[in-house]
Chains A and B, each alone.
Chain A
Amino acid sequence: MTKSVRWQLVAAVVITFVFVAPILWMVLAAFKTINDIYAIPPVWVPDFTYLDNFKLLLSENWPFLLNSTIVTLSATALCLAFALPCAFGLVYFQFGAKNFLADWILSTRMMPPIAAAVPLYMVFNGAGMLDTMPALIIAYAGFNLPFAVWVAMSFFRNIPKEIIEAARIEGCGWFQTFRIVALPLAKSGIATVATFVFIFAWNELLLALFLTTREAKTFPVVISSFSTVTKTYWELISAATIIQILPPVIFTILMQRHIVSGLTMGAVKN
């Protein structure tokens, strides 16, 4: 091992540690009592068979975990259901204000979500949808649409034009071309978009705080409630955070298999 490689290794370990340390601390804290968390000298290695934090957390809050799951999966599905056909049309249809429309869609992304919080509250209030999951699903899907459309467009653009044309000559209408040819070829793009929307919806806190009170509360809202004016329940926060970060990690790992490059290799000769 040369000297420079050794230094690179050391640097890599240090940097990794800096990023992993909080997570590590949190994992350890999840298995401690509140007294152990504050103990001096610190209890470095807790008893990993101590699961009371998790039991307490889930026994009271499992409905909200379920809410989070439903909202996240539905928002991801809804967002894709609108974004993919929209992107396909923007790439392949010929019409006047095509580029303007695409830019306009992107421009709606420039607004920070907080700016929409109050209007959204009023709209959903008017519609009688406050504290319902559909409200969150619509809001999350909507916020991610511009991004999803743009990413999907770039993936559709990468499909060689002739393949789409061949499908049409072979007898496919636009919808069949989209479903049978374009979607499978844009698979990696869809996986990318889905991953992003999933993570956004799963972790979103701000709108959920605004739009829900009891019934439709999501898990991040629950976590935030563990920090009260009088006391912060670090042991519950830690346990909840572990549960919170697991699904995105699993989802990303699952999707990563589909994010393969070179899918269109051999389709056309260049």
Chain B
Amino acid sequence: MGEIVLKDVEKSFGDVSVLRDINLTIKDGEFVVFVGPSGCGKSTLLRMITGLETVSGGQVVIDGEDITHTKPSSRGLAMVFQSYALFPHISVRDNIGFGLKIAGLPKAEIDAKVAQASGILGLDALLDRKPRELSGGQQQRVAIGRAIVREPAAFLFDEPLSNLDAALRVQMRIELIRLHERLATTMIYVTHDQVEAMTMADRIVVLEGGDIQQFDTPIALYDRPVNKFVAGFIGSPKMNFMEASPGPDGTVQVKGGPALKVPGLDPARMTGRMTVGIRPEHIRYAHDAGDLTGKILVEEQLGSDAFLYVEVEGIGMVTVRAVGERDFHSHQTVHLSLPPETCHVFDESDLRINEN
């Protein structure tokens, strides 16, 4: 079991408040990812759950038990560090079995569990080596092995893959997803990487400036971001933002562009200054006609997609994602249209005001 509830959790270092009003309920067996820009407090939040960092206010509850002031060794959690943090003076076998030995399990049982974990992670041939004799990927596997043998209430990961090269990262990502399916244990995973967040998470916590911006499924974050920050943070390339103001007949007038009749937008919630957001793949593009006219500054051709960076007079740079497109090139003129049903509207305090 591993339901983790944070109630009004706060953290400050001295006078500096780092996290405020953190309320989260992470369900048993859920895979939750914390994302946010550097320094937003992801690691601090994770470390408060482990007990490595003290909590300045509020409660941390695991399975109904208030563990706010319980020491880390008694919380029954396992953590995988970005730096792996293996014990360098003992073998891989002893590293994996470390927690079990501390817990006083009989040797036969430890050996059996270590063998099982090393089988899952493909470490059988490496058990008698010291950590320094392993590659980065292997070391990370040992760290994961050390975590899974203890059958913890939850796994906590702090950017576990960021020291690996790109190919290995993809492989480990898939392995972690499969591991989660197999163990069905609660996992909390901190990352900078959009793709990791989107692909691995059941739900994502977006943190910024010490506050939770949104806590929802990856698709909900992508399709219905609550504010401009989340809209801009989730998705790559980023959502395009354009200044706008209220237009005639309940429309939104894009500055230097068309007036859009965005569905689900209550004119009463409009403010004088607004922002219209549209994702690069939602912009329609054509050689002959459209709402906006611009010039392609750069064409990034990936084969599967072409990213067109279009300079539109009065609006600025607009990114267009043209799936499978081969026919638009740098320096050409292109016409763009903004389908209103794909647009997001943010008010002057950057909250999203169209409902859908």
The interface of chain A, by Cβ under 8 A from chain B, is 94, 160, 162-163, 165-173, 176, 180-181, 184-185, 263-270
Contacts and interface: CB of A to CB of B under 8 A. Distances in A.
Nearest to A187: B89
B131 A266 contact: yes
A170 B88 contact: no
Contacts of A160: 83, 85
A92 B139 CA distance: 25
Interface in B63-97: 71-73, 75, 77-79, 81, 83-89
B87 A167 contact: yes
Looking at A163, A176, A184, A264, the one whose CB has the most chain B CB atoms below 10 A away is A163
B146 interface: yes
A266 B87 CA distance: 9
Contacts of A184: 89
A123 B229 CA distance: 70
A208 B88 CA distance: 43
B71 A268 contact: no
Closest 5 CB pairs of A and B: A266-B132, A268-B83, A267-B88, A162-B85, A170-B99
Contacts of B103: 171
B163 interface: yes
Given A172-B102, A181-B87, A185-B88, A267 B131 contact: yes
Contacts of B98: 167, 170
A265 B83 contact: no
Interface in B123-171: 130-134, 136, 139, 146, 150, 163
B52 A165 contact: yes
Looking at B78, B87, B146, the one whose CB has the most chain A CB atoms below 10 A away is B87
Given A162-B85, A165-B52, A167-B87, A266 B139 contact: yes
A162 B83 contact: yes
Contacts of B54: 94
Contact of B87 (A176, A265, A267, A270): A267
A269 B102 CA distance: 25
A268 B82 CA distance: 9
B59 interface: no
B253 interface: no
B87 A168 contact: no
Contacts of B102: 170-172, 176, 180
Contact of B84 (A168, A172, A265, A268): A268
